[in-house]
């Protein structure tokens, strides 16, 4: 009985071509591998996303909370046609990106989360996700939204995205923006980097283990000392947050 119900609850994924892993040299001089992960690797990723759910700075909290739910939905087969790519440096988790195939022609970009700052790692991971939709899945466009000002700069402005404001995005039903194949072609020479195939030793290291990020964003010692919402009434939420994770704050 329960087995039969599970069959009803699980959507059947449509076939999607695999993302061929790629690698690039980032600004620090290190090699970064971007590859697709399957469901079996999701439990190794979740704790690193969970830690960011308490980082209010740069909207890591809302993005990490949503990513956590999306990764669980993927793991438990509660989402249709989702994929997850990770970026790793020496095995360490550096970024997570995910999205969905809406139909043959349209993709839905879900999230981009950088676990190491200041090296355009998130930008590279986002570009790989767009490459997956446009070049590998051969889609006509990808629907995108930003939840943070940095995200808006990175996607809407750097790619000069088109408005699709009559189309609600799956992230909260807010108006969508779109990356078309034409826009992606224009960005190709400047924003999209990486080589294939990934040398064996790099890929083996990445696939062997998803290691914890060595320098992830962290909440400040005093949450009220460094908040985007210092003068915003919604900052009172931090008082509750501080009570709950009192071990982290020096109130």
Ligand X SMILES: CC(C)(COP(=O)(O)OP(=O)(O)OC[C@H]1O[C@@H](n2cnc3c(N)ncnc32)[C@H](O)[C@@H]1OP(=O)(O)O)[C@@H](O)C(=O)NCCC(=O)NCCS
96 in contact with ligand X (CB under 6 A): no
Q: Do residues 63 and 171 make contact, with C-beta atoms less than 8 angstroms apart?
A: no
* Cβ proximity to ligand X, 77 vs 119, nearer residue: 119
* Cβ proximity to ligand X, 21 vs 216, nearer residue: 216
Tokens, residue 116: 């190491």
Q: Do residues 134 and 192 make contact, with C-beta atoms less than 8 angstroms apart?
A: no
Q: How many residues bind ligand X, per CB under 6 A? A: 20
Least gap, CB of 15 to ligand X (angstroms): 28
Question: Cβ-count burial of 21 within 10 angstroms (0-12 exposed, 13-18 middle, 19+ buried)?
Answer: buried
Least gap, CB of 60 to ligand X (angstroms): 5
Q: Do residues 223 and 231 make contact, with C-beta atoms less than 8 angstroms apart?
A: no
Q: Do residues 25 and 182 make contact, with C-beta atoms less than 8 angstroms apart?
A: no
Contact pattern for ligand X over residues 138 through 157, marking x by CB under 6 A? --------xxx-xx-xx---
User: Which residues, 28 to 87, sit near ligand X by CB under 6 A?
Assistant: 58-60, 63
User: Which residues, 99 to 128, sit near ligand X by CB under 6 A?
Assistant: 112-114, 117-118, 120-123
At 170, give phi and psi (nearest 5°). Answer: -65, -20
* Binding positions for ligand X, rule: CB under 6 A: 58-60, 63, 112-114, 117-118, 120-123, 146-148, 150-151, 153-154
């Amino acid at each position: 009985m329960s087995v039969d119900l599970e069959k009803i609850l699980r959507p059947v994924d449509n076939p999607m071509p695999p993302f061929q892993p790629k690698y690039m040299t980032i600004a620090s001089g290190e090699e970064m591998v971007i590859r697709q992960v399957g469901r079996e690797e999701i439990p190794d990723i979740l704790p690193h996303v969970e830690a960011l759910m308490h980082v209010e700075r740069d909207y890591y909290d809302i993005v990490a909370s949503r990513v956590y739910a999306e990764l669980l939905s993927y793991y438990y087969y509660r989402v249709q046609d989702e994929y997850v790519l990770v970026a790793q440096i020496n095995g360490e988790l550096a970024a997570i990106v995910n999205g969905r195939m809406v139909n043959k022609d349209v993709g839905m970009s879900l999230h981009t989360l950088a676990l190491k700052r200041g090296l355009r790692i998130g930008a590279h991971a986002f570009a790989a996700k767009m490459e997956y939709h446009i070049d590998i899945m051969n889609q006509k466009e990808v629907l995108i939204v930003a939840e943070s000002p940095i995200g808006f700069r990175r996607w809407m402005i750097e790619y000069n995205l088109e408005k699709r404001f009559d189309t609600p995005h799956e992230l909260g039903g807010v108006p969508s923006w779109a990356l078309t194949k034409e826009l992606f072609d224009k960005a190709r020479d400047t924003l999209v980097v990486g080589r294939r195939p990934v040398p064996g030793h790099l890929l083996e290291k990445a696939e062997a283990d998803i290691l914890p990020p060595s320098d992830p964003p962290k909440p400040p010692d005093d949450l009220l000392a460094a908040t985007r919402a210092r003068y915003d009434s919604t900052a009172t939420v931090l008082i509750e947050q501080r009570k709950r994770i009192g071990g982290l704050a020096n109130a």
